[in-house]
Amino acid sequence: MIQVLNERLVFVALVPGILAAIIAVPIAVPIAQAIIRPITELVEAHRRLARGDKTVRVQPHGRGEVAVLGRSFNSMAETLHILCVSVMPPRYDLRPTQCAFWPCAQAKCVSSLR
């Protein structure tokens, strides 16, 4: 009798749990991807910017925190691009030690040493 009750209790608890998982997974996966995709794009854009691509921008979608972060990233990248174009002198006679302080001039600085 107790074993029958235990089996019924397991069945009553297990079946709804399995049904909930079957329903929840197809709903949760697209939601997770929608959250992760913009963050992944921001990380990749950050890496490109760090490698020297001052023209990289992201497409912020919506009004949430990730969209605000995307717009902030674009503003930062645009400011860096403008500074690199306007602040650097037309002639790049920087010594290699100075190139570290002017990342946008590193390629020109290194090429001027050749």
Q: Show the 3-state SS of the chain.
A: CHHHHHHHHHHHHHHHHHHHHHHHHHHHHHHHHHHHHHHHHHHHHHHHHHCCCCCCCCCCCCCCHHHHHHHHHHHHHHHHHHHHHHCCCCCCCCCHHHHCCCHHHHHHHHHHCC
What total of structural domains would you count in the chain? 1
Which of 94, 44, 51, 35 has the alpha carbon at shortest distance from 73? 44
pLDDT of residue 103: 53
Instruction: Tell if the pTM clears 0.75, that is, is over it.
Output: no
pLDDT at residue 91, as a whole number: 55
* Domain carrying residue 62: 2-112
Structure tokens at 76: 């930062």
Question: pLDDT tens, position by position, for the chain (114 residues)?
Answer: 777 777 777 778 888 889 999 999 999 999 999 889 999 999 999 999 988 888 899 999 888 999 999 999 999 999 988 888 777 665 555 444 444 445 555 554 444 444
**pLDDT value at residue 12:** 80
